[in-house]
Chain A
């Protein structure tokens, strides 16, 4: 069974960074790109970018190029997304997805 298990909710201070994880199981991790999607409260879905776990190549949406950093660890079948210089605009649920499969989402709340 394919599973994408994301790390738990985070409460972080403005200006700080956060790193969330997405552990994949049930398939060959390096065979599929991992995408990340943002959803602000009561709003729609926004694509952040994707990583090729086989070689670490990344593609970002322009607006996230200085905000998000995607990495992948083949040894642990885990994808990561680091978000930096956090503001209230970054308060959202973040999903990792292989499109056919989605993680459960990680809520990041930015508040002082």
Chain B
């Protein structure tokens, strides 16, 4: 199984500041079709998860452009610019290139 390693496990960010989360996979996520199926999923407290980004950098509908995803092969980053109070929760990276799909352990974002 592909292991997804996220860092940091938690971070505390002031409103208006930026946050960055790293995700590394144990092998390249570039699939045979040339696409890289790396998603970012967000879960606010007590709520269902919500996908924010798919295929490394594509924002799901309704996701503010304060969120951005970058990376390739095995190294990926989620950046949140201008953090808002509603951004508090846990962020997971998730690879969908190879079965079984696997998630990172999550990064908890707290508002300072």
Q: Using CB atoms and an 8 Å cutoff, list the residues of chain A in contact with chain B.
A: 35, 37, 44-47, 49, 59-62, 95, 97, 99-100, 102-105
> What is the count of residue pairs linking A and B with beta-carbon distances less than 8 angstroms?
45
A44 touches B106 (CB 8 A): yes
CB-CB contacts of B55-75 with A at 8 A, as 1s and 0s?
Answer: 000001100000000000000
**Chain B residue at smallest Cβ distance from A6:** B48
Given A44-B92, A47-B101, A47-B102, A105 contacting B51 (CB threshold 8 A) = no
- A60 partner residues in chain B, CB cutoff 8 A: 100
A102-B48, A102-B49, A105-B48 known; A45-B103 Cβ under 8 A: yes
Chain A residue nearest to B90 (CB atoms) is A44
> In this complex, what residue of B is CB-closest to A59?
B99
Instruction: For A104, give the chain B residue with the smallest CB separation.
Output: B48
Mark each residue of chain B from 77 to 112: 1 if its CB lies under 8 Å from any CB of chain A, else 0.
000000000000010101010011111111000000
**Measured CA separation A100–B54 after assembly (Å):** 9
Q: Which 10 A-B pairs have the closest CB atoms?
A: A61-B100, A47-B101, A102-B48, A45-B103, A44-B106, A99-B51, A44-B105, A59-B99, A102-B49, A47-B100
- Which chain B residue lies CB-closest to A64? B100
Task: Report how many residues on chain B are interfacial, defined by Cβ distance under 8 Å.
Answer: 23
| Closest Cβ neighbor of A98 among chain B residues | B51
Q: Let me know if A45 and B100 touch, CB within 8 A.
A: no
* B 38-60 binary contact with A (CB < 8 Å = 1; else 0): 01010100001111001000001
Q: How far is the CA of A95 from the CA of B41 in the complex (A)?
A: 13
Interface residues of B in 2-53 (CB under 8 A from A): 39, 41, 43, 48-51
The answer on a CB contact under 8 Å between B49 and A45 is yes
Known: A45-B92, A100-B60. A62 touches B49 (CB 8 A): no
Alpha-carbon distance between A64 and B94 when the two chains are bound, in angstroms: 18
Q: Which residues of A contact B90 (CB under 8 A)?
A: 44
